[in-house]
Structure 1
């Protein structure tokens, strides 16, 4: 991926979470854990060729992954 392309994807992903960098970081972190545990990417990116955070960021930028809600753990 080119740098400018990566910056475009990051900007789109950030826009999807209303410019909340903290929320974006948390979404990426959670999705990376899922991908690392064997989840299939929701975008056409080879998990062996691309880094998991790049895949997660693209998924968010394309609207495949969204923040739904947080449930309190008791």
Structure 2
């Protein structure tokens, strides 16, 4: 699947909210950097972590459970 197709499918998974998608990718990349196992069988040494995260979201392996508000002091 091409990158454009993966991005479009990932956007569909988050109701076309680019900000939610960006935050999910950022969070997942941090997890992958920390040693989390990827869910799509990608090679962590040759594939970009952002591409792996987007593929995981596009394939429905990762879903958004909730959004927490940060309380301002």
TM-score of the superposed pair, with normalisation by structure 1:
0.89
Q: Name the residue aligned to 2:57.
A: 60
Structure 1: which 5+ residue stretches go unaligned?
A: none
Q: How far apart are the structure 1 equivalents of 2:68 and 2:20? A: 15
Q: How far apart are the structure 1 equivalents of 2:44 and 2:60? A: 19
Q: Name the residue aligned to 1:15.
A: 12
Computed over aligned residues only, the root mean square deviation of the Cα atoms, in angstroms, reads: 1.3
- Equivalent pairs counted in the alignment come to 71
Structure 2: which 5+ residue stretches go unaligned?
A: none
Aligned mate of 1:31, from 28, 33, 57: 28
Q: How far apart are the structure 2 equivalents of 1:23 and 1:71? A: 12
Aligned mate of 1:43, from 40, 50, 73: 40
